[in-house]
Amino acid sequence: MIDISEIRAQIKLLNPEINFDGAYTFYYDETNNIRKFRIKETGFNSAFTNNFVLGGLVFEGVSPDVQPLKDSLRLQSTAKEVKFNHIARGSFIDCLKSQNLNLFLKYLVSNNLYIHYSSINILYWSLVDIVDSAIVNSEISQKISAQFINVLKNDLYKLARLEINSMVSLFRKYEYPNIKQNRVLSFIEEMSELFFPYINEPEFHIGLESLRQILQECRRKGSLPFVMGEEDFILINDFSQFYMRPIYTFINSTHIFDKENSIEELLEKQIIMDGPRQINNYSFADSKSEQLIQLSDVVVGILGKLGSYCNTNDKEKIYSDMHSLNSLQEENIDLLLNLIAESRDRNMGFLHAIDCYEEMSKMDIIIECRQGICA
């Protein structure tokens, strides 16, 4: 049994501008659902540049009639349901060339349908426990701001991207995230050695030097509590917590997920309580019989492509791409950005991301370029 009353109260306290008490209907699908993220001998079991995205459509009141949209897409008669690959294919930039994507986005905007999502950068999520372990072991560091802690996490992520092979080798050697007590000191020492080629560079100096000093305090205590006592090499065991999150934050809403047997089995084992009240606000459905789950697949599909685009291209390439779009691509990206903005304006709680400053700043570049701010 899980009583979510305290954690929900804390979330509401930290986010007073978000209406978590509204009665909405959420439909869900997911993309890049690798189910488990782990370290292999030569790397990871899946591309770390693909964000896991859980999300879809959300609305208030009566369920919208989406049959006119399905009819307008003119799918092949053999298609039993709408899937993202019926709408667009290829890279994010290629997807923006799709006329069907244009029809889809226009329909959502004109029919007061909103989108919601949780987007998880799986490499970043796998690294942040190192910083959190260091902070909890340092009395002085516990007084630094949440913003600066995020700077430390961001710089560790950037370092990992630059030294990904060395980082994987280090994690293999120390069976991360299950570092043994007698190996904590040597793990910290070897990881700190990865800092030195970058520590005097202006973009890294403050973050990496601060993290190095905090880790030295951990050496004296011989502990990194959040990366010890876990399962060897398993960075993310499952994504169930991201299914749970909207269930207990939006407890007055209805949540309809695409069938995912492993998640359904995990949630069935949980009795979710809000004080004396049991929460039964979610269900799993077959997408073939739920048109709004099918359309949610399109939503998470394009958002997943967007996340991969940001994770695999530098800022200069994004600037260049944004100035090379044809008219249909420009219209589609503007529709997508407007849909995200309108959904955020409707309820900031609809949008949730676990990501670093580095990758999120690339979204800012896209927005600025479309607003004509960047040259």
Please check whether residues 255 and 113 belong to one and the same domain.
Answer: yes
pLDDT digits (tens, 9 = 90+) for 287-315: 999 999 999 999 999 999 999 999 999 99
Whether residues 246 and 223 fall in one domain: no
Residue 374 clears pLDDT 80, i.e. is over it:
no
Whose structure tokens read 């509590």? 225
> Is 24's pLDDT higher than 90?
yes
Q: Give just the sign of the alpha carbon dihedral 339, 344, 345, 346.
A: positive
**Domain shared by 168 and 184, yes or no:** yes
Are 243 and 333 within one domain? yes
Nearest 10 degrees: CA dihedral of 11, 5, 115, 285?
150
Is the per-residue pLDDT at 188 higher than 70?
yes
Residues facing residue 254 across a β-bridge: 25
Note the pLDDT of residue 138: 82
Instruction: Please state whether beta strands 114-120 and 43-44 pair in parallel, antiparallel, or not at all (unpaired).
Output: unpaired
> 298 and 253, same structural domain?
yes
pLDDT, averaged across the chain: 94
- The string of pLDDT tens digits covering residues 211-257 is 999 998 888 888 999 999 999 999 999 999 999 999 999 999 999 99
Range of the domain at 206: 123-234
The rounded percent of the chain whose pLDDT value lies above 70 is: 99
Which residues are CB-neighbours of 224 under 8 A, at least 6 positions away?
130, 133, 134, 137, 179, 184, 187, 188, 218
Are residues 141 and 130 part of one domain?
yes
Within this chain, do residues 78 and 62 fall inside the same structural domain, yes or no? yes
For residue 141, name the pLDDT band (cuts at 50, 70, 90). confident
Give the Cα separation of 99 and 106 in Å (integer).
Answer: 11
* pLDDT tens-place string over residues 61-71: 999 989 899 88
What is the model's pLDDT at position 373? 75
Are 145 and 36 contained in the same domain? no
Q: Is residue 375 in some structural domain?
A: no
Q: Dump pLDDT digits (tens) for 26-58.
A: 999 999 999 999 999 889 999 999 999 999 999
Confidence band of 206 (pLDDT split at 50, 70, 90): very high
Q: Is the same domain home to 264 and 363?
A: yes
- 110 and 242 share a domain? yes
The whole-number pLDDT of residue 137 equals 85
Per-residue pLDDT at 238: 94
Residues 70, 148, single domain; the answer is no
45 and 149 both lie in a single domain: no
Q: What pLDDT, on the 0 to 100 scale, is given for residue 264?
A: 92
Per the domain annotation, does 164 fall within a domain? yes
* pLDDT score of 77 more than 70: no
pLDDT at 375: 58
pTM of the predicted model over 0.75: yes
> How many domains, the chain?
2
